[in-house]
Amino acid sequence: MEQLMVNILIATGFLAGMGLLLSALLVIAEKSILNFGPCTIDINNSEKILKVKGGGSLLSILARESIFIPSACGGRGSCAYCKVIVKNGGGPVSPVEEPYLSDEERKRNTRLSCQVKVRNDISIEIPREYFSVRKYRGKLISKRPLTHDIFELRIELLEPREITFTAGQYIQLKSKEYKGRESVIRAYSMSSVPSDKNHVELIIRRVPDGICTTWIFDYLEEGQNVGLSGPYGEFKLQPTDSPILFIAGGSGMAPIWSMLRDMREKGIKRKAHYFFGALTQKDLFFLDELRQLERELPDFKFIPSLSREPENSNWTGERGIITDVVKKYIPDTSGYEAYLCGSPGMIDACIKALTSTGMPVEKIYYDKFA
């Protein structure tokens, strides 16, 4: 019996020892065999050259170098936000990436940066705006309802204290864990004016069952710290003299509200119409502020339209869907530029309506992350 116990102990010890030995071998192998050594990341035809230690994903290595590519899934290859162009050195497209890449994107060598491993020198192209993206820590100083399902947040930046952006751009806000739900990252357009560098304002609509908006509406309180990164996006006013059509609905107000106030501050006097679509009067907000802008901007007109307002209400403004109202006011849009912000369905309908009244499609600008 005693001998049996000794044998069991010896066998257990032997197995444990072998396990430790194998683990040590794996660690050594990872360090020697998988050590890809120093690699070079050439960005935008040598506009920036990074000397990095190879082995990690392009997304994570760029983040270590303070270049933040948008991402919502934390590098799991499921959100497809982290697309970049890899000109060479990225290896073959992985099966994880395939469903997220269109034929057009494949031709342009677009890749998911979270799935590209940096194992040798690599050349990539990213929007120049990403160089100025920073991570921020801020404090929510105001949270106020604008309608029954839209809130405005005002965040004071603590570290770094200032953000430089162009009206129309967006940030990525990081939610905190609550009720067993994971921390997530979601994109929201900034509604603040670029001159207010110490604050970020957002206009956010509640998404039924949405992880991030439920956190914002039900858990986030004034005084709490928040994490965000930005600015992102190429949706911005073009430097031309063309008359402008702004078209938005719901929280799509955010980037337009930023652009309009930026125009006022900079003394931009371009002719502009702002068509805002809503269901009923309870879905409208910033009416007084926009009427004030009409008085301050010499050639600016705000036209809200309601599609489900009761016939017998006191509403004296436009009624009907926004695309019909745009056609009524501007039957020929050929000389205009359009800036759209809303649901993809609304954007598609607007593009159809605008091109049918003469607007070249390349003069229509809208949020790319929608």
Residues forming the site for another protein (CB under 8 A): 72-74, 76-80, 95-96, 98-100, 180-182, 184, 186-187, 205, 207-211, 214, 249-251, 277, 279, 307-308, 321-322, 342-346, 349, 367, 369-370
Which of 200, 349 has the CB closer to another protein?
349
Residue 77: CB minimum distance to another protein, A: 8
Nearest to 136 by CA among 232, 50, 216, 62: 232
Annotate 65-81 with b (16+ C-beta within 10 A) or e (fewer).
Answer: eebbbbbbeebebebbb
Query: How far is 325 from 320, CA to CA, in rounded Å?
Result: 7
Query: How far is 163 from 245, CA to CA, in rounded Å?
Result: 28
DSSP 214: H
Residue 345: CB minimum distance to another protein, A: 4
Which of 54, 252 has the CB closer to another protein?
252
Query: How far is 317 from 306, CA to CA, in rounded Å?
Result: 8
Residue 98: CB minimum distance to another protein, A: 7
Residue 185: CB minimum distance to another protein, A: 8
Residue 317: CB minimum distance to another protein, A: 17
Residue 150: CB minimum distance to another protein, A: 12
The structure tokens 């695309």 sit at 323
Which of 7, 78 has the CB closer to another protein?
78
Two structure tokens written together for 252: 């799509």
Which of 154, 205 has the CB closer to another protein?
205
Query: How far is 319 from 304, CA to CA, in rounded Å?
Result: 8
Residue 252: CB minimum distance to another protein, A: 8
Contact 77/114 with Cβ under 8 angstroms? yes
Residue 121: CB minimum distance to another protein, A: 30
Query: How far is 35 from 54, CA to CA, in rounded Å?
Result: 7
Residue 312: CB minimum distance to another protein, A: 18
Which of 84, 306 has the CB closer to another protein?
306
117 burial level (CB within 10 Å; 0-12, 13-18, 19+): middle
Which of 50, 211 has the CB closer to another protein?
211
Two structure tokens written together for 192: 């603040």
Query: How far is 3 from 16, CA to CA, in rounded Å?
Result: 20
DSSP codes joined into one string, 262-314:
HHHHHT----EEEEEEESSGGG---HHHHHHHHHHSTTEEEEEEESS--TTSS
Which of 81, 286 has the CB closer to another protein?
81
Which of 231, 250 has the CB closer to another protein?
250
Amino acid at 255: P
Which of 85, 370 has the CB closer to another protein?
370
Contact 296/264 with Cβ under 8 angstroms? yes
